[in-house]
Amino acid sequence: MEKGSLYIVATPIGNLGDLTFRAKEILESVDLIACEDTRHASILLNHYKINKPRLSFHSHSGRTKVDKIMDYLKNGSDVALISDAGTPGISDPGYVLIQAALDDGVEVIPIPGPSAVITALCASGLPTDKFLYLGFLPTKKGRQTLFKKIADSEYTVVFYESPHRLIKTLTQLKDFLSPDSKVVVAKELTKIYETFYRGSISDVIKQIPEKPKGEYVIMIKS
Ligand code: SAM
């Protein structure tokens, strides 16, 4: 029996209008949609009136879930993998399933679209010909070493940060960066409260509200 294909489908990072035509076509055509969170996925899928069977697949999904999805693929079903926002596999679940699919000779097809890292970088005004993406920084061990690496990097460095750690991270980074380092923090990209804070690290810290809310990408060019 011919195996199905695994489609890695990027979905909007806030603005529902950012789903590509091809992503919509694929989501309408597959037999199963593996979603990071089925309830969260319903917002997008209902908006586009896409009514396909859904299965949850998240970072804590074990081997059983991977095997279940692999059974669909091996039995000829096409499966789309989506995350809560942006591109699956980019600081989001996907790697284990993609690796299992490749190991079993299943075709893995990327359907490109939004990702917060690229969306933030392209409007940052920082050099983007080369950049270093660090995902989420560690919350405990290894932060100081990484801050030093960020400060020493010849490339623009970009990483994700949660709202409740944003000020702490920027304040700690301040001790490592030179005053001429350029910092850009992108908030709530593609959403109503989209904001870019730009300047030196001290300037940026001053601009950020005391109790930040929303989603953030931090970019630094030392
Ligand atoms: N796979 C996603 C992608 O391709 O962008 C990233 C998923 S990661 C779990 C979620 C983090 O991405 C958030 O904590 C935030 O740092 C960043 N992010 C996602 N959407 C964002 C947005 N609309 N504006 C700013 N940052 C965003």
Phi, psi of 31 (to 5 degrees): -90, -25
pLDDT value of residue 58: 92
Q: Rounded CA gap, 85 and 93, in Å?
A: 11
Last residue of some domain: 75, 90, 111? 111
How many distinct structural domains can be found in the chain? 2
Q: Are residues 123 and 35 in the same domain?
A: no
The DSSP output letter for 138 is P
Three-class SS of residue 16?
Answer: helix
Report pTM. Answer: 0.97
Q: Which domain holds residue 26?
A: 5-111
Q: Are residues 106 and 145 in the same domain?
A: no
Q: Are residues 10 and 106 in the same domain?
A: yes
Q: Rounded CA gap, 117 and 190, in Å?
A: 12
Q: Are residues 106 and 122 in the same domain?
A: no
Q: Are residues 170 and 208 in the same domain?
A: yes
Beta bridge partners, 119, equal none
Residue labelled with tokens 């074990």: 62
CA of 80 to the centre of ligand 1 (A): 20
Which residues are CB-contacts of 94 (< 8 A; sequence separation ≥ 6)? 8, 81, 83, 88
Last residue of some domain: 62, 77, 111? 111
Q: Are residues 122 and 149 in the same domain?
A: yes
Q: Are residues 145 and 174 in the same domain?
A: yes
CA of 187 to the centre of ligand 1 (A): 10
Nearest in space to 219 (alpha carbons), one of 106, 132, 146: 132
Q: Rounded CA gap, 82 and 33, in Å?
A: 7
CA of 88 to the centre of ligand 1 (A): 11
Q: Are residues 90 and 143 in the same domain?
A: no
Residue labelled with tokens 């932060």: 143
Q: Are residues 101 and 157 in the same domain?
A: no
Choose the residue to mutate in 15, 90, 91 for probing ligand 1, maximizing ligand atoms within 8 Å of C-beta.
91
CA of 85 to the centre of ligand 1 (A): 7
pLDDT single digits (tens) 90-140: 999 999 999 999 999 999 999 999 999 999 999 999 999 999 999 999 999
Q: Report residues of the chain scoring pLDDT below 70.
A: none
Which residues are CB-contacts of 129 (< 8 A; sequence separation ≥ 6)? none
Q: Are residues 11 and 99 in the same domain?
A: yes
Q: Rounded CA gap, 109 and 115, in Å?
A: 17
Q: Say if CB 54 and CB 35 are below 8 A apart.
A: yes
CA of 90 to the centre of ligand 1 (A): 9
Decide: 172 in ligand 1 pocket, CB within 6 A: no
Q: Are residues 92 and 130 in the same domain?
A: no
pLDDT value of residue 59: 86
H-state helical runs in the chain: 21-29, 38-47, 63-74, 95-103, 116-122, 143-152, 163-174, 201-207
Assign residue 137 the CATH number of its domain.
3.30.950.10
Decide: 137 in ligand 1 pocket, CB within 6 A: no
**Ligand 1 atom closest to Cα of residue 89:** 1
Which residues are CB-contacts of 152 (< 8 A; sequence separation ≥ 6)? 222
Assign residue 26 the CATH number of its domain.
3.40.1010.10
pLDDT value of residue 170: 98
Last residue of some domain: 79, 111, 143? 111
Q: Are residues 123 and 93 in the same domain?
A: no
